[in-house]
Structure 1
Amino acid sequence: MTVVRNATPAAASGPEHVTEPTAYDAILLASFGGPEGQDDVIPFLRNVTRGRGIPEERLEEVAHHYRAFGGVSPINAQNRELKAALEAELARRGVDLPVLWGNRNWAPYIKDAFVEANERGFTRLIAIGTSAYSSYSSCRQYREDYAAALADTGLEDVIQIDKVRQFFDHPGFVQPFIDGVRGALASIAAEGIPLEQTHVLFSTHSIPEADAAKSGPAFRGFGDGGSYVAQHRAVAEVVIAAAGDAPAWDLVFQSRSGPPSVPWLEPDVNDAIRDLAATGIRAVVIVPLGFVSDHMEVKWDLDTEAMETAQSLGVLAIRVPTPGVHPAYVSGLVDLVLERRDAVPVADRPALTELGPWYDVCRSGCCENARLGFKPAVAGLQP
């Protein structure tokens, strides 16, 4: 019985984890997208905020971040690099799967990737979204955009598309952060700052509290922060445990964009640094745990604003690298594709927390947007 739209036969009935192999034709690398010049900035931000009623003056405030980098977001160059790294790793393993690339908010768009797939005769795609966690903006919105792009291109009856599971606790995603924290703590120790005057801040994108509460399937009972907060906390615990003799840590948030009247996840990373400095903390390790590469949120909100906050308080701050094209991360993404291709049993799938391995097919009602409700989406049970 088919209950998952545009799914391959192995996923069409909606299993938590597939048990039948699937012969995919290509990989879709799907990302957020970003402007590549000053003239692109405002049109890009309009794409991102479409339907949310964001005033132009607010867009201009955010545009300042991009304009400080010449109007060019680093994300597209990073995705080109990741695409090339995936292709190299696939070739090294002898896996014949082309990699297509499409963005949600800027060229090349996801619908462009679907058109290319159709032109090249690819009808079964496996998608890798460049976001590791469960929430509306990091999972379901991608699935909605796949569905919308299929409808826009008239390819709903041609292309089948699955997605890899959310990979927050896959070793390939987590290992780069472990390496980074170890290196940062060693650098702080070399400065003569004791462990008790050091603090680790795991930072991720803030989202509305209402959306966080609805992240992940409701039956898991994660509480107010939903699976979004639970997943981040679980991964942070793994990273700290692997770092050895490590200081205290907190989960903090950044890049809030909503009106003050709407509660978003807190504390903000800058507020956390101020509070820690007031208690005598002399060094902080900032871990961009919610990001796969050096997006604008990392380059501006962490490397610019958070670093300025720390410097103004006399606090040494070291920002840990994102996974980027770390060999473990690239290899891990390929593993996730082959996991679906070969229907690897759940017991043999790597997961570093008790929350995983996460679902191949998203559960019913998963990651609802509290304001917009449910829209058509692929790779998951309805709604």
Structure 2
Amino acid sequence: MPYDAFVLLSFGGPEHPDDVMPFLRNVTRGRGVPEERLLEVAEHYYHFGGVSPINQQCRDLLAAVRADFGAHGISLPAYWGNRNWAPMLADTVAQMRDDGVESALGFATSAYGGYSSCRQYWEDIAAAVEHVGPGAPKITKLRQFWDHPGFVGPHVSAVRTALTEIDPARHATTRLVFTAHSIPTTMAENAGPTGGRYTAQLNETAALVHAAAAPELSWDLVWQSRSGPPQVPWLEPDINDHLRVLAEKDVTDVIVSPIGFVSDHLEVLWDLDNEALETARDLGLGYVRAGTPVTDPAFVAMIRELVLERTANAPQQRLGTLPVWDICQTDCCPAPTRGGPR
């Protein structure tokens, strides 16, 4: 299929204090989340002036992608649409239609399989196309990229940089802790051919980053940003609980690498740079948080390479062994029981 555009697909975030509550209501619409819970989460955004960094990070990434495309002779115009805040994907699709776009490739800012990280973007695309109606372009999402060198490499570099901040005399008692967004266990373990791929892919990424960045350290994969009612089981352990366990095992320092994310958006800044950092300080643990790819040249080049897989039959660039595919099956990654906001 020929493609005549590229569209960046992301979560979206508020850019003014007045945006915070409307944004959170968009995120939680239909979930029955109490108002007091929304107000609690809103405080995380107000802590940063009511502005989530994710939209500016998307602008920066889009600019880098456009420059990279231009430098390598890829003539696809690049658009951007969000799930929960302006620019909303439906508005972007309408603009694409008005610009004469017929078929586009979509890149979601999530490397992994799972409902909110993958399938929900397919649903977002379908809803936006239906909303726009006749003339709306067809949009096909690019594949997951958890083991692509352009995603793994920047995390490797970030961990290596973080390790330089720790006294070499304490490396023997330093732990490498990888984090990702927790999800309900029923969603993580759903039956069928795709069951368990979220955790499997994350474990593969963690193993790849560890082997290349700091093979001398022990490592763990833990979870952050849990939401939803307490009676619903989610993936554990939480990063804060795990830090308490490590402190009892004579660990002196931790490097926290958020491999579940492509940028330092609000969940990384709040959950890791505030809550987890405070927990570590209370425990007397040295704490260094590794960075995320954001606009690392290798990550930007990866996006181009994913596009060329579809448009020029370029070979897949992969470091892992788990299966990957371009089109998700209709029964892939069912939606979870709805809980609280992210």
TM range, normalised to the smaller chain?
over 0.9
CA distance in 1, matches of 2:257, 2:251: 17
Output the CA distance in 1 between the equivalents of 2:44 and 2:215. Answer: 37
Q: Which TM-score applies when normalising by structure 1? A: 0.86
How far is 1:279 from its partner?
1.1
Residue 119 (structure 2) pairs with residue 153 (structure 1) = no
TM-fit CA distance, 1:244? 4.5
- What root-mean-square deviation, in Å, do the aligned CA atoms of Structure 1 and Structure 2 show? 1.3
1:266-295 Cα deviation digits (max 9, x unpaired): 000011111101111010010001000011
Deviation track 1:83-136 (CA, whole Å, cap 9, x = no partner) reads: 000001001101101110000000000001101101110011100000010010
Which of residues 329, 332, 336 in structure 1 aligns to 2:302?
332
1:200 equivalent in structure 2: 176
Say whether 1:104 aligns with 2:86: no
Matches within 5 A, 1:38-53: 38-53=17-32
Residue in structure 1 matched with residue 161 of structure 2 by the alignment: 183
1:219 to 178, 186, 193: 193
What is the CA-CA distance between 1:364 and the residue it aligns to? 3.3
Q: Distance in 1 between matches of 2:43 and 2:97?
A: 38
**Is the CA contact (8 Å cut-off) linking 2:277 and 2:287 kept in structure 1?**
yes
1:209 maps to which residue? 185
TM-score by length of 2: 0.96
Whether the aligned pair in 1 keeps the contact of 2:93 and 2:136 (CA below 8 Å) is no
Q: Could you tell me the percent identity over the aligned residues?
A: 51
Letter aligned with residue 129 of structure 1 = A
Match of 2:36 among 57, 75, 83: 57
Question: Partners in 2 of 1:258 and 1:317 — Cα distance?
Answer: 28
1:322 aligned residue: 292
Residues in 1 aligned to 2:171 and 2:213: alpha-carbon distance in whole angstroms: 16
Give the 3-state SS of the residue equivalent to 1:187 in structure 2: coil
**Deviation readout 1:356-383 (Å, 9 max, x if unpaired):** 4x111112311111437xxxxxxxxxxx
* Aligned partner of residue 202 in structure 1, secondary structure: strand
Distance 2:273 2:246 in 1: 18
Please list, as runs of the form range in 1=range in 2, the aligned pairs for 1:1-383 lying within 5 A after superposition: 22-155=1-134, 158-190=136-168, 192-195=169-172, 197-214=173-190, 218-219=192-193, 226-344=196-314, 348-356=315-323, 358-371=324-337
Please list every run of 5 or more consecutive structure 2 residues that lacks an aligned counterpart in the other structure.
none
**Residue type of the partner of 1:34?**
G
Give the counterpart letter for 1:183 in structure 2: T
Going from structure 1 to structure 2, the CA distance change for 1:122 and 1:310 (only over 3 Å counts) comes to same
**Local SS of the residue matching 2:25:** helix
Q: Aligned residue for 1:19?
A: none
Conserved? CA contact 2:159–2:214, under 8 Å: no
Q: Give the gaps of 5 or more residues in structure 1.
A: 1-21, 373-383
Per-residue deviation at 1:219?
2.4
Give 1:334 shift. 1.0
Count matched residues.
Answer: 338
Counterpart code for 2:166: I
